[in-house]
Every structure is written in C-alpha cells, then in structure tokens.
C-alpha cells in the first residue's frame, strides 16, 4: 500500500465485504421455516418433478402426499422447525432439503455469492477512486497547435458567412 | 431423401472449413478475392444446412419412420404443427436447428460486412465458421439426424406430450435465436482481439446483433415461463430448474454488456470488461447447452439429454481458454485513459448495475453447480432449489431495480445537487409515500413493500424524463404533446426505447413480487354441485366430460365461476392422456384479469363417486409479467429500429440525401 493512503478506505472496504457476508448469512437464518407451508417449501418432492413438496404438480403424487402427511405428523409431535428438518434429512438424506443447510461446507453456498459481490464492490470502488485520483493529477492539456490549412476551411468559412447573413 | 440430408451436411462441413482457410489467408495476404470466396462459401454452407433442415422436415411430415429421428420424435397421429416443431424436440434435430440458425446469422453477418470492416470481418466470419464446424462435426460424426433404422416400425414413438403445446412452437426457436445470435458479437470481439483493432468498431458493428440476441433471450425466457405456467400445472412460472438457469445467465450477462458498452462508446473505457462480458455471455450459452445435454445436473426438462456432454464441455473449455489467452495477450493494448469524476454519475450507476447483474449471474451459476460440487467434495447429494435462489437473488434484484431508476437519469460525469434534486426528489418522495401507504393499509411483507416502492420510484423517474422532454419540445418547437412525444422518441430511439424497456422490466418486477408474496392456493375434493371460495369468487364444480381422438383422450371438468351469486365464467381444466407414449398431462384453466389470475388444475377424478380434486391458485399481478414482456418488446423495437438521419446539405453539394444510420 502506498504511504499516506488513508487506512479508513481499507477498513471501509473490509466492512463492506463483511456486511456482504452477513447478508448472505441472514439469508440462511431467514430460510428457517416456521409453518406447514414453509416446511413444504423446505422439502423437495422425491417424485422427480424437481419441485418442492408444496409445488409438486402431481396432485396424487406418490412422494408429495405421504411427505405432507409426514410433515403434519412431525408438527403434531411439537418439534421445532430445525428438528423437523433434521428428521427428514436423517431419514431421506440431505437431498430432500430444498436449500443447503447452514452448516459446514454448505455455508459456502449461501455466503460465496455475497462475499464475491462484496469483493467486486470493493474492487470497483477502489478502481473508480484510482481513476478519479489519476484524473486529478493528470496534467492540464496544452494549447492546441495551429494545424495546416484544410481545403474545407474555405467552404466552412463561406457557409458560416452565409449562415450569419 | 436421407442421403440428400447426409450429403448436404458433409458438404456444409467442408465449406465451413474452406471458409476459415480462405478468410484467414485472404485477410493476412490482403487478397480480397479469397475473402469474397470465403463469403460465398459461407452462403453455400447456409444453403447446404437449409437443404438438410428441409430434408428432415419433409421426413417428419411424411412420417418416414425409416429415419431413427422421425421414429423417435413423431407419429402418424401427431398434429402437423407438432411435426414441424419436432425438428427441435429431440437431440439431433435441435442441433441441426441450432446449426441452421448459426449458418443464417453467419451469412447475414457476411452480407452486412461485404464492404465494411475489411480488417476484422474475415476473422469474425472465421470464428463463426469455427463454431459452425463444431456443430457440423457433431451432426456428421456423433449425433446424426439422418441415421436409418434396420427395421422400419409401423408407428413412431411420438413427441413428448409436454412438448405438444403451442408455446413450445415458439419458446425453443426464440431461445435458440438468442443463444446463437450471441455468436456474432462474440466473433467480432474475438476478431478485434486477434487483429488488435481494439477501438469500438466491433461494438458499433454488432450493437444491433447484441440487442437482437438479448431480445430473443428475453422472449425465450418469457415464452418458457408461459409454457411452464400453462403446461406444468403447479401454479408457477419459474422453478429455478438448471435448464431455466442456463437460459437466464446469458440474459443477465448480455444485459450487463448492453449497459457497459454505452460507457465504452461514450468514454472509451471498459474495453477489457466489455470483451470479457461478451465472451462470458457466449460461454454461458455453451454452458447451458452442456447442462441440457449432459445430464450432469438433473433437470425436469432436459428433453434432449444424451451423452454429448463431454463434447460440449471440451468445446467450452477450448473456447474459454483461447478467448482468455487472447484477452491476456492484448491486455496492454486494451488499457485506456480512464476518466472518472464522481461516484454520483451515470458511469458509476452503470458500473454498479454491471456488478449486480454479474453478481446475480454468479449466484445462479453457483446454485446450479453447487450440488455437483457438494457431491465431489463431500460425497453427499444435496438439492439447491427455489428457496435458495429466491432468498439469494431477492435482495440483489431490489438493488438492481433501484439502479434501473437511477442509471438512465443521473448525469454523466458528475451529478450536481441540482441534477439530483431535479431527477430524484419527486420520484423518491412518491416511492416513499407509496411504501408508507402500503404499510399503513396492512402490507407486512417487507420485500414486497420495498419492491413496490422501488417500482413507483423507477416509473416516476421515467415518466418525469418523458414529461421534461415533451415540455422542452413544446417550448422550443411549439408542438402539441402527442406530436412532441412522437418526435421525442423518434429523435432518440435508443434512449427512449431504453426507458420503455425499463417500464417493461418494472412491470415484470410487479408480477414477480405479487406472485411471490401474495399467491394463494387451495386443494379441494368436490362432488358435482359443491362449491368453494377462492380469490373473492365462488367456484362451483359441475361435473366432468370426456372425449377422445386417435392421439389423445380428454377428461374435462366444468367449474362455474360466480361473483356475488351471478355466474361470470366457466372454467374447463383438463387431464389429457396421450397414447404414445402413454402419459397423462395437465391442461390448466386460467381466468386472467389485470389484478390476478384464477388458475385451476384438475388433479384427479373418481368415476364411481363423480368426485374431482381441484387445485386452485390465485396469482396476483401475474398478467403484468406478460404485458411487461410486450412493453419490453415494443421498447426493443423502438431501440433497434433504424434511424433515418437527414444529412446536412453543404453548400457545395446541392440536394440533401437521407441516409440510414
């Protein structure tokens, strides 16, 4: 870092990246479901439709219907949302969850886009700052040198004279 | 006939190879005859691919089941329109269709540049021919559309019933047009890098191509959404399926490109960035094709899945590495004296717009490949579904919406306090007031409130721009408001077309917000005569009728829609049972109003009891998605329409001429 460059810029940049990561983490927290409908949306139907249990387009689906009943059953036991999702994940494997969990390797899924975006923002901000600084120190342009007379000069002069007239 | 198709494809491949050699030789040796010969070879290649396409279409229309492709994707009972669309319903046919579009676009580019860009055009055409060689190589050696069957079946296996829908007649061609036409700006970008002619000539030459590609990618995505909405029967239109993501990513990057080239055109900045963006957009189209055909990432609609993945992956890697190497090789020459004055400027807004668009593209890419990454690293299969994409992209989408309002209005170089007040004070005030009103009347979905407020803000900035422009013309020329509006747009199509496009985008945001935050759904089993309430209506199930054709059997429920006791409509959701292959599909019934769609799905029917299970949805504001698409198309038309510029009539050249831009 060049001497004399204010430290606050880098602190600000760091804070920006951390904020971006926190936004990513906030998405994880808000992903935790609280109701039957949210639980349906947090589980993937296993019939191959590729949709969530709540959205499965097969009304008599062999997978979605039993899963819905199982969600209700789990809710009746009084478990909280995390415990219910842990139950499904344990029984069917992690692939039943419609979003990656907020732990271990999977946290990368949530945080990486925001961290990279934050880094991109810092890079952009710093680059724009450098451009601005470069412009400030750039020497003033010298006065234009007189150029050789062009054949169009006369025509232009004539047109302007006519225009004025 | 199949032999004709095979021969045509073989000759097309040879012509593509010849055109590369002749173009490069002609350009390097300054031999215009060779360049002209290469151009003729490209046109001949297009003619050959056209012959192959017509041959396959003829076989499909004639139900010539001696061809493996026709037997696999058609039948004698398939309606004629779907015989035509089955050209892109299967692997080989869709690749042939792709190659056809590429050969057409390459031919048009060759024609447009027959007297222009003598330094870069031959190389650009060579790059396009190289891409064509890959596809023609696949069609000649790997996945041949004219392969014959040893035993000719009496009947074909038929087209996938999900593809037997009118939206499928226009969705794949639109998307393919968007994908393939991105080759033109990519090829000119690559040619600029190869030749070292790094000014903005390649951008100016391909500006309309870039808009054309972006427009068709938009249409393709819109038609795909409409197809999903009508055919898949789950009440939604976008499920973040890998194939959908594959079409969305190039659109995002192309959108970023269309904004950032304005900075290069105006200030000669961002040369590397623009070249990188167009390379990325083209790479993502190949990545999308790789996803669709490889089966590496499971998707609900990989209709053309096959073992072509490794070929596409290899091609993708070769293209990416070559292009990146060229960018690095030319990096010194691409440096330009950047001129930047303030963060409060249009340049800064466009740069942040680029950051967010590329950020969203990365988030979509990351979510799409993360299951593969997880399996490779942990050995555990996971799903990255709609909740992930919605949660990650919602905040980014709102930032983008905000920038949509700021970018086109804020001043270039440095916005003064006066400019900011003039452009943003009233729109900001209106947006805030709108948000507060929504909150006060009971809206507690915070994302929705912010989104609606931003929509008001963006529309207000655009309306204010039109208002100011009209007032200025009225003051200067004394035109009436309508004439002033017409002239305002026609004198600066690019700017005002852009505003109209932004209005379309805002309408789409309204629809996305409405359907995401306020969608209602209900599943109910009823006897004939029984009713239920939905979206302010009473829905009465009146029974089921059935009918049959040689191709498909129908089961159609009749549901009366009552408003205040008066019947205002009858909705007819269907179940269809296709006979070849035996597959049930859903045909939804939609009652569309500007405020909301009432959407009914017939789930099941029990003949002995006459009971039917109906799934009902209310999708608020969804019509704005489709209308937004139409407005966007209108704006693109305004932007892309050639402007006739009246040339100044100098004193020494009597008589002014009109010249096209």
Structural domain for A58, as ranges: 32-98
pLDDT band at B193 (very low <50, low <70, confident <90, very high): very high
Both tokens of B359, joined, read 């950020």
Q: Assign A104 to helix, strand or coil.
A: helix
Alpha helices per DSSP H over B63-90 = 68-73, 80-85
pLDDT (tens digit per residue) in B218-254: 999 999 999 889 888 888 999 898 889 999 999 999 9
With beta carbons less than 8 A apart as the criterion, state whether B578 and B156 touch: no
| Alpha-carbon gap, residue B173 to B169, rounded angstroms | 7
Query: Could you report how far apart the first and last alpha carbons of chain B are, in Å?
Result: 45
R_g of chain A computed on alpha carbons:
31
Both tokens of A112, joined, read 């990486």
pLDDT (tens digit per residue) in B260-285: 998 888 888 888 999 999 999 999 99
On average, the pLDDT of chain B sits at 90
pLDDT score of A130: 82
Asked if B613 lies within 8 A of A113 by C-beta distance, the reply is no
Whole-number percent of chain B with pLDDT over 90: 67
ipTM entry = 0.83
CB atoms within 10 A of CB A151: 6
Kindly state whether B383 is in contact with chain A, defined as any CB-CB distance less than 8 angstroms: yes
pLDDT score of A143: 54
Same structural domain for residues A130 and A112?
Answer: yes
Asked if B341 lies within 8 A of A132 by C-beta distance, the reply is yes
- Higher-scoring residue by pLDDT: B301, A14: A14
pLDDT score of B267: 82
Q: Sort out which chain B residues have CB atoms less than 8 A from A57's CB and list them.
A: 232-234, 586, 601
- Total domains present in chain A: 2
Asked if B340 lies within 8 A of A162 by C-beta distance, the reply is no
Distance from CA of B298 to the nearest CA of A (A): 8
Sign of the C-alpha dihedral computed for residues B29, B30, B31 and B35 taken in this order: positive
- Higher-scoring residue by pLDDT: B2, A70: A70
Who contacts A145 (Cβ-Cβ below 8 Å, separation ≥6)? none
Question: Does A149 reside within a domain?
Answer: no
Give the β-pairing of B552-563 and B531-534: unpaired
Q: Sort out which chain A residues have CB atoms less than 8 A from B356's CB and list them.
A: 117
Phi first, then psi: what are they for B76, rounded to 5°?
A: -70, -25
Asked if B234 lies within 8 A of A27 by C-beta distance, the reply is no
Same structural domain for residues A83 and A118?
Answer: no
> DSSP letters of B371-411?
HHHHHHHHS------HHHHHHHHHHHHHHHHHHHHHTTTSP
Both tokens of A147, joined, read 């150029």
63-122 of A, contacting B, C-beta below 8 A: 93-100, 105-106, 108-110, 112-114, 116-117, 120-121
Same structural domain for residues A37 and A21?
Answer: no
Residue with tokens 């466009």, as numbered in its chain: B350
pLDDT score of A107: 93
Same structural domain for residues A126 and A110?
Answer: yes
pLDDT score of B306: 66
Who contacts B343 (Cβ-Cβ below 8 Å, separation ≥6)? A125, A128
Q: Sort out which chain A residues have CB atoms less than 8 A from B236's CB and list them.
A: 55
Asked if A124 lies within 8 A of B355 by C-beta distance, the reply is yes
Question: Does A151 reside within a domain?
Answer: no
Overall average pLDDT of the B526-538 stretch: 93
Overall average pLDDT of the B541-553 stretch: 90
Same structural domain for residues A85 and A37?
Answer: yes
pLDDT (tens digit per residue) in B581-624: 777 888 899 999 999 999 999 988 888 999 999 999 999 999 99
Interface test with A, best of B229, B387, B613 (most A CBs within 10 A): B387
Question: Which one of B241, B342, B601 has the shortest CB-CB distance to A59?
Answer: B601
Asked if B339 lies within 8 A of A131 by C-beta distance, the reply is yes
CA geometry: angle B573, B230, A95, nearest 5 deg:
110
Same structural domain for residues A24 and A78?
Answer: no
Distance from CA of A50 to the nearest CA of B (A): 6
Same structural domain for residues A88 and A112?
Answer: no
Phi first, then psi: what are they for B555, rounded to 5°?
A: -130, 115
List B148's β-bridge partners, or say none.
B67
| Alpha-carbon gap, residue A33 to B153, rounded angstroms | 53
pLDDT (tens digit per residue) in B133-156: 999 999 999 989 999 999 999 888
CA geometry: angle B281, B284, B285, nearest 5 deg:
90
Give the β-pairing of B552-563 and B574-579: antiparallel
pTM, two decimal places: 0.87
Phi first, then psi: what are they for B652, rounded to 5°?
A: -90, 0
Kindly state whether B613 is in contact with chain A, defined as any CB-CB distance less than 8 angstroms: yes
With beta carbons less than 8 A apart as the criterion, state whether B193 and B326 touch: yes
- Considering only CA atoms, which of A117, A129, A107, A122 is closest in space to residue A14? A122
Q: Which of A52-66, B68-82, B433-447, B552-566 has the lowest mean pLDDT?
A: A52-66
Interface test with B, best of A97, A99, A162 (most B CBs within 10 A): A99
pLDDT (tens digit per residue) in B195-219: 999 888 899 899 999 999 999 999 9
Phi first, then psi: what are they for B38, rounded to 5°?
A: -65, -40
Same structural domain for residues A92 and A47?
Answer: yes
pLDDT (tens digit per residue) in B283-298: 999 998 888 776 666 6
269-298 of B, contacting A, C-beta below 8 A: 298
> DSSP letters of B428-439?
HHHHHHHHHHHH
Question: Does A157 reside within a domain?
Answer: no
pLDDT (tens digit per residue) in B49-103: 999 999 999 999 999 999 999 999 999 989 999 999 999 888 899 999 999 999 9
pLDDT (tens digit per residue) in B378-425: 988 899 999 999 999 999 999 999 999 999 889 888 888 888 898 899
Q: Give B78's Cβ-side CA count (13 Å radius).
A: 32
Q: Which of A98, A124, A147 is the last residue of a domain?
A: A98
């Amino acid at each position: 870092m060049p001497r004399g460059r204010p430290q606050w810029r880098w602190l600000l940049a760091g804070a920006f990246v951390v904020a971006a990561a926190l936004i990513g983490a906030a998405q994880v927290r808000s992903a935790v479901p609280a109701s039957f409908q949210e639980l349906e949306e947090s589980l993937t139907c296993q019939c191959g439709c590729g949709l969530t249990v709540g959205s499965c387009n097969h009304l008599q689906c062999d997978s979605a219907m039993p899963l819905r009943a199982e969600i209700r059953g789990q809710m009746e036991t009084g478990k909280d949302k995390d415990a219910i999702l842990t139950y499904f994940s344990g029984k069917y494997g992690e692939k039943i969850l419609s979003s990656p969990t907020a732990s271990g390797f999977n946290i990368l899924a949530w945080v990486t886009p925001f961290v990279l975006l934050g880094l991109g923002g810092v890079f952009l901000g710093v680059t724009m700052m450098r451009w601005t600084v470069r412009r400030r120190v750039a020497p003033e342009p010298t006065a234009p040198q007189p150029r050789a007379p062009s054949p169009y000069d006369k025509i232009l002069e004539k047109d302007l004279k006519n225009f004025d007239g | 006939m199949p032999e004709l198709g095979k021969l045509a494809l073989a000759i097309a491949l040879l012509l593509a190879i010849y055109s590369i050699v002749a173009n490069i030789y002609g350009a390097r040796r300054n031999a215009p005859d060779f360049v002209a010969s290469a151009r003729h070879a490209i046109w001949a290649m297009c003619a050959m691919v056209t012959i192959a396409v017509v041959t396959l279409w003829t076989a499909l229309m004639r139900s010539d089941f001696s061809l493996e492709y026709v037997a696999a994707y058609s039948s004698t009972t398939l309606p004629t329109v779907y015989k035509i669309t089955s050209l892109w319903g299967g692997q080989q046919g869709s690749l042939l269709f792709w190659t056809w579009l590429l050969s057409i676009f390459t031919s048009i580019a060759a024609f447009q540049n027959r007297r222009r860009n003598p330094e870069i055009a031959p190389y650009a055409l060579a790059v396009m021919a190289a891409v064509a060689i890959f596809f023609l190589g696949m069609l000649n050696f790997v996945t041949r559309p004219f392969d014959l069957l040893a035993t000719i079946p009496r009947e074909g296996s038929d087209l996938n019933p999900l593809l037997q829908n009118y939206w499928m007649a226009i969705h794949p061609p639109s998307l393919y047009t968007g994908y393939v036409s991105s080759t033109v700006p990519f090829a000119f970008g690559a040619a600029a890098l190869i030749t070292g002619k790094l000014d903005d000539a390649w951008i100016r030459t391909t500006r309309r191509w870039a808009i054309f590609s972006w427009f068709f990618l938009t249409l393709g995505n819109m038609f795909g959404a409409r197809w999903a909405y009508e055919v898949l029967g789950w009440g939604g239109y976008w499920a973040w399926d890998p194939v959908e993501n594959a079409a969305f990513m190039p659109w995002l990057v192309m959108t970023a490109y269309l904004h950032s080239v304005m900075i290069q055109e105006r200030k000669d900045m961002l040369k590397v960035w623009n070249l990188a963006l167009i390379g990325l957009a083209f790479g993502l189209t190949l990545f999308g094709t790789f996803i669709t055909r490889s089966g590496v990432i499971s998707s609900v609609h990989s209709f053309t899945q096959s073992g072509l993945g490794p070929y596409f992956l290899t091609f993708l890697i070769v293209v990416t590495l070559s292009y990146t190497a060229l960018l690095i090789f030319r990096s010194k020459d691409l440096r330009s004296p950047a001129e930047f004055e303030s963060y409060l400027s249009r340049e800064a807004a466009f740069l942040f717009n680029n950051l967010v668009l590329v950020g969203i593209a990365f988030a979509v890419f990351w979510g799409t490949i993360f299951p593969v990454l997880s399996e490779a690293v942990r050995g555990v299969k996971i799903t990255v579904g709609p909740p992930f994409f919605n949660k990650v992209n919602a905040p980014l989408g709102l930032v983008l919406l905000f920038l949509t309002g700021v970018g086109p209005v804020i001043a270039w170089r440095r916005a003064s306090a006066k400019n900011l007040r003039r452009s943003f004070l009233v729109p900001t005030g209106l947006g805030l007031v709108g948000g507060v009103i929504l909150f006060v009347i009971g809206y507690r979905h915070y994302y929705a409130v912010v989104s609606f407020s931003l929509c008001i803000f963006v529309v207000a900035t655009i309306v204010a721009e039109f208002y100011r422009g009209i007032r200025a013309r009225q003051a200067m020329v004394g035109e009436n408001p309508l004439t002033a509006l017409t002239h305002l747009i026609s004198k600066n199509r690019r700017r005002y077309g852009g505003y109209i496009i932004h209005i379309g985008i805002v309408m789409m945001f309204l629809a996305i917000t409405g359907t995401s935050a306020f969608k209602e759904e209900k599943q109910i089993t009823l006897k004939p005569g029984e009713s239920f309430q939905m979206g302010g209506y009473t829905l009465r199930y009146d029974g089921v009728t059935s009918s049959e054709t040689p191709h498909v059997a129908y089961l159609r429920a009749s549901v009366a829609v009552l408003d205040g006791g008066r019947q205002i409509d009858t909705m007819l959701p269907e179940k269809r049972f296709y006979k070849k292959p035996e597959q049930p599909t859903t045909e939804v019934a939609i009652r569309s109003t500007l405020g909301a769609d009432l959407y009914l799905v017939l789930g099941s029917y029990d003949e002995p009891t006459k009971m039917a299970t109906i799934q009902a949805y209310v999708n608020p504001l969804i019509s704005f998605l489709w209308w937004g698409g139409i407005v966007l198309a209108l704006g693109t038309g305004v932007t892309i329409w050639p402007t006739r510029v009246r040339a100044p009539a100098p004193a020494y050249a009597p008589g002014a001429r009109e010249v096209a831009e």
